[in-house]
Structure 1
Amino acid sequence: MSEASEPEEVTQETAEEATPDVAGLQARAAGLQQRVAELEDRWRRALADLDNLRKRVSRDADRVRVEERARAAVEWLPVLDNLERALEHAESDPASIVEGLRAIRDQALDVLARLGFPRRDDAGTEFDPARHEAVATLAQEGVPDGTILHVVRPAYGDGEQQLRPALVVVAKGE
């Protein structure tokens, strides 16, 4: 047989050469396992931080919602006080109740405007389906087609801040 086909004899030298290589690989594997453990720990902490952030944002949003509702309610308290005063005086002078109710209505309109929802006066403007809801049409001479003739129920707010559309009667061509 030739030399190439003979099995190599394991000597002390070849065993010593292989040992540092195995030891190095084991050390590297141990280092990688430690790095994986560190990364898993950081990942778990990040998940916990995210969960805590979600809970905090939810609590803050709830708190802001409650504060805004309270702020809106405070705006309406003077209107309610004036309604009660008007009802107290209604028996003594029934005619004054109309004047008092007009003043209270004006005060309520002012509250809505301060909250960002002013009343719109749409009579005489052109019908816009995004801002108006037609409840009837009327033939009217001398008025352009699509003009709002009468507001049945006014709108409050504008654009994306619209609380409700106006209910209107619209002119139509003959």
Structure 2
Amino acid sequence: WRRALADLENLRKRHARELERERAAERARTAVALLPVIDNLELALSHAEADPGSIVEGVRAIHDQAVDTLSRLGYEREAETGVPFDPARHEVVGVVEDPDAEPGTVVQVLRPGYGKADKQLRPVAVAVAKRE
């Protein structure tokens, strides 16, 4: 009986160590995916003094790279208008009157969301057409 309890305790400890090792490995994989974004931000900042106009182009490229990185991690950008409101994907932050839109339809995206309804980092913040 004591031996079985000791084996069970050893199994729990081993499982906790393996779980922490997996968490650390996943954090490292995520950090490695973001490193190119940081490198490009530093490069854009170093070139900002030479040609201030190119900074906007550089920031756009870095933004696209960051969105692509999130997409590769499984969190695609969601920012559609004209779709029916879905409480699993959208967060209503405003209601507007829009005679051209169907009631309950997303008419404006105020903040994009990332991920699908079952695996979501954050919902899409939207304004929805008012129901009459």
- Please report how far the alpha carbon of residue 80 of structure 1 lies from its aligned counterpart in structure 2 after TM superposition: 0.1
Paired AA for residue 40 in structure 2:
N
Q: Does the CA contact (< 8 Å) of 2:94 and 2:127 recur in 1?
A: yes
Paired AA for residue 15 in structure 2:
V
Equivalent positions of 1:101-120 (< 5 A) are: 101-120=59-78
SS in 1 for 2:118: helix
Q: Does the CA contact (< 8 Å) of 2:90 and 2:124 recur in 1?
A: yes
Higher strand share: 2
Residue from 120, 129, 132 that aligns with 1:171: 129
Residue from 78, 97, 106 that aligns with 1:139: 97
Deviation digits for residues 82-138 of structure 1 (CA, Å, limit 9, x no counterpart): 000000111111111111111100100111011111111221111112211111111
Deviation digits for residues 63-82 of structure 1 (CA, Å, limit 9, x no counterpart): 00001001100000000000
Unaligned runs of 5+ in 1: 1-42
Paired AA for residue 125 in structure 1:
V
RMSD: 1.0
SS in 2 for 1:123: coil
Q: TM-score, normalised by structure 1?
A: 0.73
- Please report how far the alpha carbon of residue 159 of structure 1 lies from its aligned counterpart in structure 2 after TM superposition: 2.1
1:82 maps to which residue? 40
Residue from 44, 50, 56 that aligns with 1:92: 50
More contact order relative to length (CA 8 Å, sep ≥ 6):
2
1:57 maps to which residue? 15
Percent of residue pairs bearing the same amino acid type: 59
- Please report how far the alpha carbon of residue 160 of structure 1 lies from its aligned counterpart in structure 2 after TM superposition: 2.1
Residue from 122, 128, 134 that aligns with 2:86: 128
Unaligned runs of 5+ in 2: none
Q: Does the CA contact (< 8 Å) of 1:112 and 1:118 recur in 2?
A: yes
Larger radius of gyration: 1
